[in-house]
Amino acid sequence: MRKYRWQAISLVLVAFMLGCNEFMVVGVISDIARSLNVTVAAAGYLVTVFAIVYAISTPVITVLTNRFGRYPLLMTLMVIFLIGNTWSGFASNYWTFLISRLMTAAVAGSIEAMIIVFANDIEPHKKRALLISWIAAGFSVASVVGVPVGAAISAATSWHVSFHLISGLSLVTCLILGWLLPKNVQHVSGGIKDQLVLLTDRRVYLGAVLVSFSAATLYAYYTYIRPLLTTQLGFDLKMMTVMLSLLGIMDIIGNRLSGTIAERSGVHTLPWYYLAQIGLFLVMPFALTATWPGYTVLLVLMLIIPIINSPIQIHFLDVAEADYPQATAFASSLNAIFYNVGISLGSATAAGSLTHFGLGHLSWGSLVFAVIALVLTILLNRAIAAHREENALEN
């Protein structure tokens, strides 16, 4: 039992590492733009491109490597990630930095899928939702610790140093995984067609699209959270770390709440949370005209937006295990794939909104995405109910 606990901690550490690498750019985006002699909007597109490559490469790598052992595959991907992140730390121009980011993006999604697979295998079945919520919380902790600390280090020295620290963390994480994880995890392999058939299931493709619009809802404004806090709400740079940390803490709480919801009601209650988001996005443009009302809205949003994470991940795994066991690894990657599709959609929308309408009106894009997500959640619940009725009639 103690070994399971340490294995679980190692998987959460991987999530934290991935989160630091992906999200730290948000905290230092202004510094990167200044250092590489590009506009803030151009630097913001780094988030979009990273997410696109992440979303495209994850299913390709996950499907094509399904016949390989889980342990050697994960360790190989971790080494590639380490090389890419280290290259980012030494980048001196925009294109070099972009290429290094693409290298880490290409393997990050498959790493996330692999740790979900290990979580599904090493934990007792009833505790999967708890561990998966902690893995999701690992990304949130990265926003609490990694993003503001990275911003502080960037302000004090250079954003390059922030990436060097992630490289050090990645090396330590590789060593811990090599020590703790089981070397021979059993799995059902399948060809490309055998795995992709998962996407033909209505319960899966509705959930996948839902994940994308949920992520877009967040990143349609969060891509520019730093200028939102400083330029729009008027917080000075000394307060930045505290403000980002509080947002991250709310994200952690939201992910833990997500685990509880996954254990109790799954995706059934999600529509209520999207209704709450819609209400908040309606008042957000007005709230952003004042410091504390605007920040309060941002805090509440960071609590409720992550609610989807654990319920939808458990939903994908349950569908795969019951009907498509050969596609379990692919199912574990769907959240990462389509979340990053949503990040690219949301960050691109944010860049366009910033250029044409300004910081104070970023939330209108988020509002549209939240409405679409609400409709998709309702349709998903209907699809799940219809499948249960079909099974009941057959039995």
pLDDT for 151:
77
Give the count of beta carbons closer than 10 Å to the beta carbon of residue 92.
9
Residues 6+ apart with CB under 8 A from 53: 102, 105, 106
Tell me what pLDDT residue 189 has. 60
pLDDT in the model for residue 77: 94
Structure tokens at 142: 């990265």
94-102 LR contacts (CB < 8 Å, sep 24+)? 94/36, 94/37, 94/38, 94/42, 97/32, 97/36, 97/46, 98/46, 98/49, 101/25, 101/46, 101/49, 101/50, 102/49, 102/50, 102/53
3-class SS of residue 224:
coil
pLDDT of residue 134: 84
Distance in angstroms between the alpha carbons of the first and the last residue of the chain: 38
- Say which residues have a Cβ less than 8 Å from residue 208's Cβ, sequence separation at least 6: 199, 334, 337, 338
Here the tokens at position 65 are: 């490597």
Looking at residue 76, its pLDDT comes to 93
pLDDT in tens, the chain (395 residues): 566 778 888 888 999 999 888 878 877 877 888 888 888 777 777 877 887 888 788 888 888 887 777 888 899 999 999 999 999 989 888 889 999 999 999 999 889 888 888 887 776 666 777 888 888 888 777 867 777 777 788 888 888 898 999 999 999 999 988 888 887 766 556 678 888 889 999 999 999 999 999 999 999 998 888 889 988 998 887 787 788 878 888 988 998 899 889 888 889 999 999 999 999 999 999 999 999 999 999 999 999 999 999 999 999 989 988 888 888 888 888 988 888 789 889 988 998 888 888 888 888 999 999 999 999 999 999 999 998 888 777 76
- Residue 303's pLDDT is 94
What pLDDT was estimated at residue 355? 82
Structural domains of the chain in order of their starting residue, each with its CATH number: 2-394 (1.20.1250.20)
pLDDT in the model for residue 201? 94
Let me know: does 97 contact 50? Beta carbons within 8 Å.
no
Angle at alpha carbon of residue 194, lines to 191 and 200, rounded to 5°: 145
Residue 391 confidence (pLDDT): 79
